[in-house]
Amino acid sequence: MLEYDFMRTAFAASGVAAVLAGTVGFFLVLRGQTFAGHALSHVGFTGATGALLFGLSPLAGLVGFTLVAGIGMGLFGEKLAERDVAIGMMLSLALGLGLLFLHFYTAAATQAAALLFGNVLGVDSSALLTLCVLAGASLLALAAIGRPLTFASIQPELAEARGVPMRFVSSAFLAIVAVAVAECAQIVGVLLVFTLMVGPAAAAMNLTRRLGPAVALSAALALAEAWGGLTLAYYTDWPASFWITALSGMVFFGAAARRFAG
Amino acid sequence: MSALSFDQATIRLGRRDILSGASFSVREGEFVGMLGANGAGKTTLMRAALGLVPLAAGSIQVLGRPVARGNPAIGYMPQNRGAISALRLTGWDVVASAALGRRFGFARLDRAARREIDWALDEVGARDLARRSIGELSGGERQRVLLSQALLGRPRLLLLDEPLISLDPAHQKSVVEIARRICDDLKVAIVFSAHELNPLVNAIDRVLYLGGGAAVIGPVEEVVTAPVLSRLYGAEIEVVRVKDRYFVMAGDVEVEREAHRHDEAHGHAHDHDHDGAHA
Ligand SMILES: Nc1ncnc2c1ncn2[C@@H]1O[C@H](COP(=O)(O)OP(=O)(O)OP(=O)(O)O)[C@@H](O)[C@H]1O
Ligand SMILES: [Mg+2]
């Protein structure tokens, strides 16, 4: 299957997005912010449909909207309980707006399906380059804030007392999440972003209790699920997004079962 | 120079004065037990010393300097530790997360930093406990691991917010003993907040009582008396002393015990610290 150009591009694109998603997703789970990640993907839907309507690249619309929304959420504050409601409202608002944009956009049906459920085989080489550059920059940024981010995630009250700039860390992190969400949406679609961002990270946490290995394992699982899904899609002709969600679900529930079994 | 001194300090949260014009000071190397009912302002006082709560009037000095957020001379153990008991990471990783917690860039834990973490764990006898998942530890074990975290950076003032919460008497005793030993060995001043005086009474040098916006510091036998406590609580208080144990009574009710019970129920609802405590 690797003799085809489009397959090679698809493997590269899904690999890059998966490694980013697995790494960023680990911290998302550690911070208990998976819902924020989910909401960001819906905001991305609005951005992408808006971009289509105005004749721009959907990837640009996706990244632009998720970034602004991510930074906004981070600045919004630390009170989780109140934030969940606000995030949920933003999520519905975004989806509604996206629907309106689609309504005005004539070639809606195929584009909508691609945005919602992904179209990894449709990634071209210029999009691949963009994905690589964004992923590289995000991983570098994540490494740069890694220590304060970990501290602030595990022990927020102590981190605040020790002088960690909480707002900055939280906004910078959500900006990185925004990019990861946009990349994932290219592969599995906005509705299934959870499968690469949260599934592998949660499974990794069930499999190891050391921080470094857990991050690495999360990235590795995401990569394996993405490539495995793509391979299965090639041989069965079923959608790649389906296979990726299936593998991700299997790994997650398998890891949970292993943990509870002892 | 004192480790911590409040000078006519007023702290206002919302419309209420939690502390109004309070003055007291904690000496260097001294072990102070801080007592007060729920809502008396123990946590707020610590947060003010850490520079997290602004003063409406007066001033606070820490080791002769005005308060500043992120002061490395202060070690802190927050009261609210609920979320951590759901975490699966090892105690070592949790403690270590504080070691480089303020460093942006690509900071690595070098050998010196690792040795420092092991030293802190040894100080509280938690080196082996720290290999286990923090969420699996009992309440008392987890408290010890987190206490070691407060020692990183060798602070000269430790602010420990309710380390005894939801521990049974045996574990309470061991945590108090460890704190006493740390105070002596490392010559660090400790402010240790609690709901009940009795577990602390033999270990502490002085007691700091909060109530009604005022703060009184002094030896236990001078502060824990009917006139002083009646003034702080704003109610008629009786103090009954049986050997080394004190019973603070308001009418028929034993004040501190009530407060403690209240808080245990609270702990139940919000985290699972309590589960392990009697294990
Ligand atoms: N942000 C805030 N705004 C207004 N009031 C506040 C705020 N934070 C705390 N308070 C109030 O300040 C008072 C002191 O709270 P604090 O947490 O310092 O008490 P505490 O002595 O630590 O109590 P506990 O024993 O329950 O831990 C309480 O009455 C509380 O309701
Ligand atoms: Mg308190």
What is residue A108's predicted lDDT score, i.e. its pLDDT?
Answer: 61
HSE, side-chain direction, 13 A CA sphere, residue A184: 36
Touching check for B108 and chain A: CB below 8 Å? Answer: no
Comparing C-alpha atoms, which of B203, B160, B210, B195 is closest to residue B40?
Answer: B210
From B71, B88, B104, residue closest to A144, measured CB to CB: B104
Residue A127 located in a structural domain: yes
Task: Tell me the β-bridge partners of B208.
Answer: B34, B217
Could you identify the atom of ligand 1 that is nearest to the CA of residue B45?
18
- Could you tell me the distance, in angstroms and rounded to a whole number, from the CA of residue A167 to the centre of ligand 1? 23
How do residues B206-260 score in pLDDT, each as one tens digit?
999 998 889 999 998 888 888 888 888 878 888 888 888 888 887 777 776 655 5
Q: DSSP of B209-231, one letter per residue? A: EEETTEEEEE-HHHHSSHHHHHH
- How many angstroms away from the CA of A210 is the closest CA of chain B? 6
pLDDT along chain A (262 residues), means of 10: 84 94 94 85 86 85 87 69 72 84 74 78 86 94 95 92 91 91 86 89 93 95 94 91 93 90 72
Count of CB atoms situated within 10 Å of the CB of A82: 11
Least confident window among A34-43, A181-190, B102-111, B267-276: B267-276
Long-range contacts of residues B261-267, Cβ cutoff 8 Å, at least 24 apart: B262/B38, B263/B38, B263/B165, B263/B166, B263/B195, B264/B165, B264/B166, B267/B165, B267/B166
Residue B52 located in a structural domain: yes
Query: Do β-strands B31-35 and B206-211 pair in parallel, antiparallel, or remain unpaired?
Result: parallel
Residue A35 contacts residue A89 (beta carbons within 8 Å): no
- Could you tell me the distance, in angstroms and rounded to a whole number, from the CA of residue A211 to the centre of ligand 2? 30
Touching check for B147 and chain A: CB below 8 Å? Answer: no
Residue type, B3: A
Touching check for A79 and chain B: CB below 8 Å? Answer: no
Residue B224 located in a structural domain: yes
* Residue-averaged pLDDT of chain B: 86
Q: pLDDT grade, residue B279 (50/70/90)?
A: very low
From A143, A152, A164, residue closest to B106, measured CB to CB: A143
CB contacts, 8 Å: A146 with chain B: 106
HSE, side-chain direction, 13 A CA sphere, residue B64: 3
Q: How many domains does chain A have?
A: 1
Cβ–Cβ below 8 Å for A162 and B98: yes
Task: Tell me the β-bridge partners of B75.
Answer: B158
Residue B192 contacts residue B76 (beta carbons within 8 Å): no
Domain CATH code at residue B182: 3.40.50.300
Q: Which residue of A has its CA nearest to B80?
A: A157
Query: Which residues, other chains included, contact B2 with Cβ-Cβ below 8 Å and sequence gap of 6+?
Result: B25, B26, B27, B28, B61, B63, B64
Cβ–Cβ below 8 Å for B93 and A144: no
Comparing C-alpha atoms, which of A188, A146, A138, A179 is closest to residue A47?
Answer: A179
Comparing C-alpha atoms, which of B233, B239, B192 is closest to residue B213?
Answer: B233
What is residue B229's predicted lDDT score, i.e. its pLDDT?
Answer: 81
Q: Does residue B276 carry a pLDDT above 80? A: no
Touching check for B47 and chain A: CB below 8 Å? Answer: yes
Q: How many domains does chain B have?
A: 1
Q: How far apart are CA B232 and CA B215, in angstroms?
A: 8
Residues contacting ligand 1 via CB (< 6 Å): B 13-14, 18, 36, 38-44, 79
What is residue A78's predicted lDDT score, i.e. its pLDDT?
Answer: 55
How do residues A81-131 score in pLDDT, each as one tens digit?
456 777 788 788 888 888 888 888 766 667 777 778 878 877 888 889 999
Query: Which residues, other chains included, contact B265 with Cβ-Cβ below 8 Å and sequence gap of 6+?
Result: none
What is residue B278's predicted lDDT score, i.e. its pLDDT?
Answer: 36
- Taking each helix axis from N to C end, the angle separating A166-188 and A34-53, rounded to the nearest 10 degrees, works out to 60
What is residue B272's predicted lDDT score, i.e. its pLDDT?
Answer: 40
Between A5 and B58, whose confidence is greater? Answer: B58
What is residue B82's predicted lDDT score, i.e. its pLDDT?
Answer: 64
Of B43, B196, B261, best ligand 1 pocket probe by most atoms within 8 Å of the beta carbon = B43
Range of the domain at B174: 2-80+156-269
Calculated CA dihedral for residues A128, B105, B87, B120, nearest 10 degrees = 160
Residue B53 located in a structural domain: yes
- How many angstroms away from the CA of B181 is the closest CA of chain A? 23
Touching check for B227 and chain A: CB below 8 Å? Answer: no
Phi, then psi, of B6 in degrees rounded to 5: -105, 130
By alpha-carbon position, which residue is closest to atom 10 of ligand 1? B13
Domain CATH code at residue A230: 1.10.3470.10
Residue to mutate among A80, A153, A158, with most B CBs inside 10 A, is: A158
pTM above 0.80, yes or no: yes
Cβ–Cβ below 8 Å for B101 and A152: yes
CB contacts, 8 Å: B103 with chain A: 147-148
Range of the domain at A51: 5-256
What is residue A109's predicted lDDT score, i.e. its pLDDT?
Answer: 66
Residue B276 located in a structural domain: no
Cβ–Cβ below 8 Å for B101 and A206: no
Residue B141 located in a structural domain: no
HSE, side-chain direction, 13 A CA sphere, residue B228: 19
Residue B237 located in a structural domain: yes
State whether residue B203 is helix, strand or coil: coil
The runs of H, that is alpha helices, within chain B are: 42-49, 91-99, 111-123, 139-151, 169-186, 220-223, 226-233, 255-270, 273-277
CB contacts, 8 Å: A148 with chain B: 101-104
Count of CB atoms situated within 10 Å of the CB of B176: 23
Residue A154 located in a structural domain: yes
Residue A261 located in a structural domain: no
Cβ–Cβ below 8 Å for A152 and B84: no
Q: How far apart are CA B216 and CA B203, in angstroms?
A: 19
Query: Do β-strands B57-62 and B2-13 pair in parallel, antiparallel, or remain unpaired?
Result: antiparallel
